[in-house]
Chain A
């Protein structure tokens, strides 16, 4: 349709200017466009094929073998790597840790972030300063984050010990204690993720029409009623989006545990991607690590598909 239009305009301008090129025939133009399209998208599709799509197939393939990534020969194991996962106690511990990290972090982070967003969702002095400070950990280099928090958690000279002492508590030996290593990682994750969730909630709140609040006020609704009967249901698409993206983010956690605790002590703070990394690049068990990677892929895919399905049904607009 637009090609016809182009052609007519082209004919007009041709007559006017006289030096514009002759409009190409429709078929020639279509062929030229097809070639242009392929040329324009080729770099991206080439890279995606080699470094994104192919790895899924190759992971699946490798997961049926025993291989140390160096030897020429791979030993076929059929499903033994998957069976090994089921009987590997560390695997289940790592899964439990990862799910605990995801669950606790998501609930606490989103809870605090929502409260902050509701507080900031009005014209007030210092609003953008508050927003900027709370958001600032979002882009902060995770390695540097792990460094400073590692120092804050220091059981002897750490800053956290000061606050614990104010509360009359002794500092746990965070990274050496099987009960405290994972909570330490959770604390860092909450600190890092709070600002992002708050900003997304603020965007969601901005989308709720002001008239609804006016109506609620006219009807004499209390602040609590307004929040639970109006704000919270209308915010459900945002909340749902954040829950899903935060869970997926937590499943992929690597940097902070890898640097702060290296998964220890006794794997008490080991998480999925770190365990995958250890299997692949520390113990050179490429087959087992590929099986782990594939299970992670399927898990994240399942969450994404469920999200696509449910976001149509669960979310109240």
Chain B
């Protein structure tokens, strides 16, 4: 009786692993396919059934892809836009979060609700008005236009406020007594203590801004201002004639920084997602 139970248990767990491995293969296959295609030769991408691994890996595909469009410039643009965007948004989120958590003000609760209400307005609704606003500001096809409309912060401010609220109030009271102003309190007490939250937030913001496609697509109109995702999509839309192996190589240019961040911090990112969803 007990043996039957145990062998059934082993069978069930074996079956579970089998299903999970199958799902992982299915989920991972597109990544594998991108990598393997990117090092295939021009004849190897036009065979059916396709080869799983090229006879001789062609790493020069990456050089060809890199030269097929100004990828260096796209990289630079993406780095500038993402970098300044992350720094500004963290700064703005921190200031708001500190104010909502630690500065007394008559309309604080009301303003907090106003801020949260912004979360209900999808960015897609704002495309045309923001385009018009940027045209008035002369920010079309400029870094400012790419960055500034998306550095306001609701979710980040909310998250950081929670973190600051969980810190003991005495800490801040004592600092005020020592003559520290709010700005110093924020910079030397709140932010250092909230470092894990700030770090996780920065990672999310980096990924979200790096991956953004729709806004830079609308707001850039010359090649030298395009970010990587937009540049890549233009390469595919036959502004340049290159093979699928080069297209996959170019996709990897875009993807590698995100994958590096993800694999380096995957535990933090996955747990942050789960915690954020439950709280928010």
- List residues of A whose CB falls within 8 A of some B CB: 2-3, 5-6, 9-10, 13, 20-21, 23, 30, 33-34, 36-38, 40-41, 43-45, 47-48, 50-56, 58-59, 62, 69, 112, 116, 119-120, 124-126, 128, 130-152, 154, 156-159, 161-162, 165, 191, 194-196, 199-200, 202-204, 207, 241, 248, 252, 254-255, 258-259, 273, 276-277, 280-281, 286, 289-290, 293-294, 296-297, 300-301, 304
Contact B127–A280 (Cβ < 8 Å): yes
Contact B258–A141 (Cβ < 8 Å): yes
- In the complex, A132 Cα to B47 Cα: how many Å? 33
Tell me which of B54-62, B176-184, B194-202 binds A.
B176-184
A13 surroundings in chain B (CB, below 8 A): 177
- In the complex, A33 Cα to B131 Cα: how many Å? 36
Starting from the known contacts A159-B50, A280-B127, 17 additional A-B residue pairs (CB-CB under 8 Å) come to A13-B177, A40-B186, A44-B115, A45-B111, A51-B126, A69-B132, A119-B19, A119-B20, A130-B23, A130-B24, A142-B211, A143-B229, A152-B30, A156-B46, A277-B214, A296-B125, A297-B125
A200 surroundings in chain B (CB, below 8 A): 273-274, 277
A5 surroundings in chain B (CB, below 8 A): 173
Contact A20–B274 (Cβ < 8 Å): no
Give the distance to chain A from B105, nearest Cβ to Cβ, in Å: 4
Give the distance to chain A from B205, nearest Cβ to Cβ, in Å: 12
Q: Name B232's contact: one of A147, A156, A194 (CB within 8 Å).
A: A147
Contact A44–B124 (Cβ < 8 Å): no
A194 surroundings in chain B (CB, below 8 A): 27
B131 surroundings in chain A (CB, below 8 A): 69, 280-281
Residue count of chain B within 8 Å CB distance of chain A: 101
CB-CB under 8 A for A151 and B269, given A55-B130, A144-B232, A254-B124: no
Contact A9–B173 (Cβ < 8 Å): yes
The 4 closest A-B pairs by CB, nearest first: A55-B129, A55-B126, A203-B274, A47-B152
Q: Mark B26-65, 1 if CB is under 8 A from A, else 0.
A: 0111110110010000000111111000000000000000
- In the complex, A162 Cα to B49 Cα: how many Å? 6
